[in-house]
Amino acid sequence: LTVKADKPTATIQPTMWGIFFEDINLGADGGIYAELVKNRSFEFNAPMMGWKEQKEGEAFGSTLVENRLEKGATNPRYIHVTANSDKGKYGLINEGFRGMGIKQGETYDFSVWTRKTDASSLTLHIELINTKGEVIGKADLTPTDKDWKKQSVSLTATATEPKAKLAVWFVGTGNLDLDMISLFPKNTWKQRPNGLRADLVQLLADMKPGFLRFPGGCIVEGRELSTRYQWKKTVGEVQSREMVINRWNTEFKHRPTPDYFQTFGLGFYEYFLLAEDIGAEPLPILNCGMACQFNSAEVVPMSEIDPFIQDALDLIEFANGSTDTKWGKLRADMGHPKPFNLKLLGVGNEQWGPQYLERLPLFTKAIKEKYPTIKLVNSSGTDPNGERFDYLNKNLRSMNVDIIDEHYYRAPDWFLQNAHRYDNYDRNGPKIFAGEYAAQSVATVSPDNKNNWKCALAEAAFMTGLERNADVVHMASYAPLFAHAEGWQWTPDLIWFDNLRSYGTPNYYVQKLYSVHKGTQVVPLVQKNEAVAGQNDLYASSVLDKNTQELVVKIVNTSDKSQTTNVVIESAKKVGKTGKLWILKSENLESVNSFEDPTLVSPAEQSVTLKGKQISLTLAPNSFSVVRVKLS
């Protein structure tokens, strides 16, 4: 193999490798959003879902759900509790999202909005309870006000428990209104109140992603338009955000999630902040006036599309506008006077048909007129080479859109065969965002799909083709990102977690190796002057990193035999005598990572010694190797 290190062919966009985030598989509520209380504001369709009354002894107690809907409240329900605990105990138990993950020695912040409705002196005794019924943390709180008021108290856990519950006991005699009963670990990512689970964000930060796409996925569209994602309902005071049923609230037999709602505690402000924290460009995707076409296929009439377009304009103002503007001021009030510097915006997710092509130009015109530098991402859907996909691609190309978002959930072989996919793409047309992809070990949407090494290896091979064509492919992201082991609807997924633990799949390590070793320019890596994309079961690409003056070579060996190869570096520059090598491999293509063995398939680092300008490598069977050497 030869690397023409002095002949860069393309600039690699800083956005090249990124993250696709969607609240699917309990990715947000019950996942990265660190709230431990399920249905904290009693707004799930069954108001007491997640809560149980508990009486001990001869205590009296009752809980009534009250609703201030008529006042136009966005969080209309609260509970009215009447209790007399003289002869026992009365309380409410919250089960959490598949339990609550509690860690010994850690502090938890309990908070609640209360309103005293009479002169009585009902106080709250808070307990964390393990599966044996033992108390592993406690605190007391005395409601003080006749008007709604938020009060907080902290408790420290005395034991670790993956399936804890929260008990709120009512002590004394009297009445009390309560809302937004909440419990967060203090130790969230960057210790932020209303924050994110630190271990999960760390896994994202470790990838050094170029962008963060949010909030999905199909949840952008909603099953019906009424449950579409509306960013304006996800910003401002947390207690005033209006929740909706999650589009992934399913009745699938093997993975029912009737308790899946979007509380929007993690809303657009928090997504922008997350992107900033992990050094990623924010890429919000907005509804284009069409609901999920896999469900209701509802569209808003053309005559009523304006508010949807206004939402897009207002979002740009929210992200970038001065603090004198309405939405820029809200961003500042929420704690971020500096703009988020939004450069990319998506309109529509997996939409199809003439309705999309009819609506899209209206968004494009309005956005480009007001914000000409914003690059727009438009979707051609999820059926590469299918009729629908081709129709959209053709039309989006003729509309000369900025970036086309292509999705592929296909068999591992498809990924190998498509390592050439972009080699002959039109260089003058729209750029490509490989916005959702994942090799499917069984079949798309099969619950038996595994994040096995075979799939990850095929993705690694395919990604050499994305990298080689970085002049046309500007962005790529695996999907979906997260899955709770006890609350998923879709597999495979990049990162699995439960209430206390998390691990990256082999696919995660492939993504991370590409992203961390992204480089700034593509240089040709050839065999007999041809791109290496399947000859002798090898797939390869190479980049320069001008920031560190290094050459990076990526080689995938999909053969079940070891192969020896020489990489000859053609360069006028001096080449380092040694380099670093990361190898990701497994003898068994079925290998998966797991909670028990989270790094079974993960990169091993070693050094390589060069012979002059040659790197001699013995590529293990079914392996992915990344080599970095200095050029000076």
CA 125 vs. chain centroid, Å, equals: 36
Beta carbon nearer to ligand AHR, 418 or 489: 489
Least Å from the CB of residue 222 to ligand AHR: 11
Known catalytic membership, residue 350: yes
Residues 6+ apart with CB under 8 A from 394: none
Q: Distance between CA atoms of 76 and 353, rounded to whole angstroms? A: 38
Tell me whether residue 107 or residue 355 sits nearer to ligand AHR (CB atom).
355
Instruction: Specify whether the CB–CB gap between 207 and 174 falls below 8 A.
Output: no
Tell me how many residues contact ligand AHR (CB under 6 A). Answer: 12
Write the interaction track for ligand AHR spanning residues 534-563; mark x where CB under 6 A is met and - where it is not.
------------------------------
Angle at 556 between CA 553 and CA 559, to 5 degrees: 145
Q: Which of residues 340-359 bind ligand AHR (CB under 6 A)?
A: 349-350
Residue with tokens 């629908």: 388
Q: Which among 350, 436, 459, 550 is annotated as catalytic?
A: 350
Cβ proximity to ligand AHR: between 438 and 553 the closer is 438
Nearer Cβ to ligand AHR, position 349 or 378? 349
Give ∠ CA 548-552-558 in degrees, rounded to 5.
160
Name which of 185 and 216 has its Cβ closer to ligand AHR. Answer: 216
Q: Would you call 144 helix, strand, or coil by DSSP?
A: coil
Cα-based distances in Å from 279 to 210, 272, 384, 542: 7, 11, 31, 24
Give the shortest CB-147-to-ligand AHR separation in angstroms.
42
In the complex, minimum distance from the CB of residue 352 to ligand AHR, in angstroms, rounded to a whole number: 12
Q: How far is the CB of 490 from ligand AHR (least distance, A)?
A: 5
Neighbours of 606 (CB within 10 A): 8
Site for ligand AHR in 377-396 (CB under 6 A): 382
Helices (H), 192-325: 198-206, 218-221, 268-277, 306-320
Binding mask 467-486 for ligand AHR (x = CB under 6 A): ------------xx------
Q: How far is the CB of 409 from ligand AHR (least distance, A)?
A: 7
Please identify, using beta-carbon distances, which residue of 110 and 478 lies nearer to ligand AHR: 478
Question: Which is nearer to ligand AHR, 294 or 370 (by Cβ)?
Answer: 294
Q: How far is the CB of 593 from ligand AHR (least distance, A)?
A: 20
Alpha carbons 436 and 283: distance in angstroms, whole number: 14
Minimum CB distance to ligand AHR smaller for 114 or for 257: 257
316 binds ligand AHR (CB under 6 A): no
In the range 106-165, which residues lie near ligand AHR by CB under 6 A?
Answer: none
Q: Are 617 and 556 in contact (CB under 8 A)?
A: no
In the complex with ligand AHR, the residue whose CB is nearer, 11 or 444, is 444
**Residue 112 DSSP SS3:** strand
**3-class SS of residue 51:** strand
* Residues whose CB is less than 8 angstroms from the CB of residue 573 and which lie 6 or more positions away in sequence, other chains included: 5, 6, 631, 632
Strands 525-527 and 530-531: antiparallel
Phi, psi at 536, each rounded to 5°: 50, 30
Residue 319 φ then ψ, to 5°: -75, -40
Site for ligand AHR in 22-41 (CB under 6 A): 22, 24
Give least dist CB 22 to ligand AHR, A. Answer: 5
371 backbone dihedrals φ, ψ, rounded to 5°: -130, 75
Q: How far is the CB of 329 from ligand AHR (least distance, A)?
A: 33
Q: Which of residues 422-461 bind ligand AHR (CB under 6 A)?
A: 436
- From residue 147, alpha-carbon distances to 113, 116, 150, 237 in Å are 10, 7, 10, 17
For residue 419, which of 476, 475, 465, 473 has the smallest C-alpha distance? 465
Nearer of residues 85 and 379 to ligand AHR, judged by Cβ: 379
The residue with its CB nearest to ligand AHR is 217
Nearest-CA neighbor of 493 among 100, 34, 30, 22?
22
Sign of CA dihedral 463, 469, 470, 473: negative
Residues 200-239: x where in contact with ligand AHR by CB under 6 A, - otherwise, as a string: ----------------xxx---------------------
Q: From the CB of residue 324, how many other CB atoms can be counted at a distance below 10 Å?
A: 8
Cβ neighbours, 10 Å, residue 500: 17
Beta bridge partners of 557: 538, 623
CB of 218 to ligand AHR, least distance (A): 4
Determine which helix (DSSP H) or strand (DSSP E) holds 132, and give its type and residue range.
none
Mask for 484-503, x = binds ligand AHR (CB under 6 A): ------x-------------
Contact set with ligand AHR (CB under 6 A):
22, 24, 216-218, 349-350, 382, 436, 479-480, 490
Annotated catalytic sites, by residue? 350
